[in-house]
């Protein structure tokens, strides 16, 4: 089903500006709290909206201008094959990883393994209860890695929450042996400064390096002291994962003062996050290159020496970017797409009041050679469909769709759904397909929607925070060549050379 975008957009422009005025004012004038990052261990409780907003949402649904509550809509070139609801792990669904015929689904309560041999009928192979917030997930060979970004009583899977002000509290990386997919075994834990919000694999033959991204230090936290201006590097021997350990903490933002040399945030740059670490990093191992989304900064760096990454260039956008969240390279490594998670994933920012340039993607060309390469801004991309003010919506996790000679990616937008868009022309990005559900609620702002949406071996897989695991089939002449590309393993933040 294709929505009539013109009439829908016109209707949303009439009502949203007034309903979102308070949010817009807050986003433009407030201090660091505006750019709140992912919600961590906090419950996704609903937030009340005004009576006028509630009435507008219901009227827009009644008029057919936005999808009905939980109604599925999509462009004609996308088919929704299946949804697998959450089962034994009721927490927030998070990231995805892939290996062979398996998909690995992170959840704030642990992780789930699916057999996707038949994408129309995924089968649950295992569900592992291991609470810890985020549970950002990746796999390499027989090893699975989970990020814990909430203060826990210990490193076990039966731990409970415990204040970060207590020295005995634990946050960091967990390592599992998945040689038997039906029975994963917990084999190692590595504590890292400020925990692990996300992590990125830099694989070698004998070792796996993990770049651990974390942030928000506090002088009262014994294991998360300022300045926290770098990343933890963990070395994991493949044949002895129990020996995994932090081998370095490279400083990416050197500078004077308690917070290092990153973006100072408010009041110098109102509405922009102060840089106290990185949120996420994407690497291109074949090209020894990485891009870091680091709160108030975007960086390009060399990973020729994986234990000692070197920053090549650094950019800021203090007008439109509140929180640099993630990064995606194109295949030629001459572009990178950064996302801005305005409102921390918990706000309704896909509306006329916020506009097309905030809570969006920023497309940057990479110009020059070697250590003299520079990031050059070209344009913004944001989904063209306005969402209800009861829907959290902002740019989130996506991946390339491997089409030679084209730059196309699929991306999650929380309750904005899944968008397939092209940026072959860096200055003129455009959407070519979409899938979304109507609001979870018409009476309050409730957190939900697609956390991650990735292309793997001919299909799009999406982890919906509230609804579970979705499989989509994309049929379009512009993307059909990607169906010939087959991978044995995919961790999206470790981008492969698809055409090597």
Alpha helices in 281-380 (DSSP H): none
**CA gap 112, 132 in Å, rounded:** 14
Would you kindly state where each structural domain of the chain is located, as residue ranges?
5-490
**Helices 5-19, 51-62: inter-axial angle, 10-degree rounding:** 170
- For residue range 198-228, what is the model confidence (pLDDT) as tens digits? 999 999 999 999 999 999 999 999 999 999 9
| % residues pLDDT > 70 (the chain) | 91
Of 89, 85, 143, 133, nearest to 111 by C-alpha is: 89
pLDDT tens, position by position, 18-57? 334 344 333 433 332 233 333 444 445 688 888 889 999 9
DSSP H or E run through 127:
strand 123-129
pTM summary value: 0.93
Helices (H), 167-321: none
CA distance 230 to 225: 12
pLDDT at 48: 87
- Give the pLDDT band of residue 119 (cuts 50, 70, 90): very high
pLDDT of residue 259: 77
**pLDDT > 50? residue 17:** no
Which CATH number does 5-490 carry? Answer: 2.130.10.10
* Spatial contact of 293 and 278, defined as CB atoms under 8 Å apart: yes
CB of 78 within 8 A of CB of 433?
A: yes
For residue 134, give the nearest of 168, 94, 97, 170 by alpha carbon: 94
**Distance (Å, whole) CA 386 – CA 398:** 20
């Amino acid at each position: 089903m294709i929505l009539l975008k013109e009439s829908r957009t016109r209707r949303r422009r009439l009502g949203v500006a007034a309903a979102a005025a308070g949010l817009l004012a807050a986003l433009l004038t407030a201090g660091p709290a505006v750019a709140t990052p992912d919600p961590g261990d906090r419950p996704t409780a609903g937030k009340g909206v005004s009576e006028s907003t509630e009435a507008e949402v219901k009227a827009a649904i009644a008029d057919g201008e936005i999808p009905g509550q939980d109604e599925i809509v999509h462009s004609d070139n996308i088919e929704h094959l299946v949804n697998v609801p959450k089962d034994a792990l009721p927490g927030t669904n998070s990231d995805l990883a892939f290996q062979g015929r398996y998909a690995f689904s992170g959840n704030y309560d642990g992780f789930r393994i699916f057999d996707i041999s038949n994408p129309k009928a995924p089968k649950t192979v295992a569900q592992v209860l291991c609470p810890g917030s985020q549970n950002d997930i990746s796999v390499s060979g027989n090893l699975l890695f989970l990020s814990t970004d909430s203060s826990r009583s210990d490193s076990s899977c039966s731990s409970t929450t415990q204040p970060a002000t207590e020295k005995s509290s634990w946050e960091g990386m967990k390592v599992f042996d998945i040689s038997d997919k039906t029975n994963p075994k917990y084999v190692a834990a590595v504590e890292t400064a400020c925990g692990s919000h996300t992590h990125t694999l830099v694989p070698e033959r004998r070792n796996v390096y993990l770049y651990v991204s974390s942030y928000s230090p506090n002088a009262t936290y014994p294991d998360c002291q300022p300045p926290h201006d770098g990343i933890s590097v963990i070395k994991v021997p493949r044949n002895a994962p129990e020996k995994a350990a932090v081998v370095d903490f490279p400083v990416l933002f050197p500078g004077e003062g308690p917070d290092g040399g990153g973006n100072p945030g408010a009041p110098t740059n109102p509405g922009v996050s102060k840089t106290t670490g990185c949120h996420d990093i994407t690497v291109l191992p074949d090209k020894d290159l990485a891009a870091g989304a680091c709160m108030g900064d975007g960086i390009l760096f060399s990973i020729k020496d994986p234990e000692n990454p070197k920053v090549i260039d650094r950019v800021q956008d203090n007008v439109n970017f509140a929180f640099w969240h993630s990064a995606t390279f194109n295949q030629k490594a001459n572009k990178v797409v950064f996302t801005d998670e305005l409102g921390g994933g918990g706000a309704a920012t896909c509306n006329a009041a916020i506009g097309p340039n905030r809570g969006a993607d920023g497309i940057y060309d990479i110009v020059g050679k070697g250590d003299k390469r520079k990031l050059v801004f070209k344009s913004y991309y944001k989904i063209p469909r306005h969402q209800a003010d009861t829907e959290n919506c902002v740019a989130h996790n996506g991946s390339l769709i491997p089409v030679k000679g084209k730059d196309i990616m699929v991306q999650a937008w929380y309750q904005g759904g899944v968008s397939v868009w092209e940026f072959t022309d860096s200055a003129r990005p455009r959407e070519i397909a979409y899938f979304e559900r109507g609001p979870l609620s018409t009476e309050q702002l409730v957190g939900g929607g697609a956390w991650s949406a990735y292309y793997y071996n001919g299909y799009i897989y999406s982890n919906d925070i509230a609804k579970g695991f979705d499989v989509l089939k994309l049929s379009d002449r512009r993307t059909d060549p990607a169906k010939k590309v087959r991978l044995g393993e995919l961790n999206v933040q470790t981008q492969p050379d698809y055409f090597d």
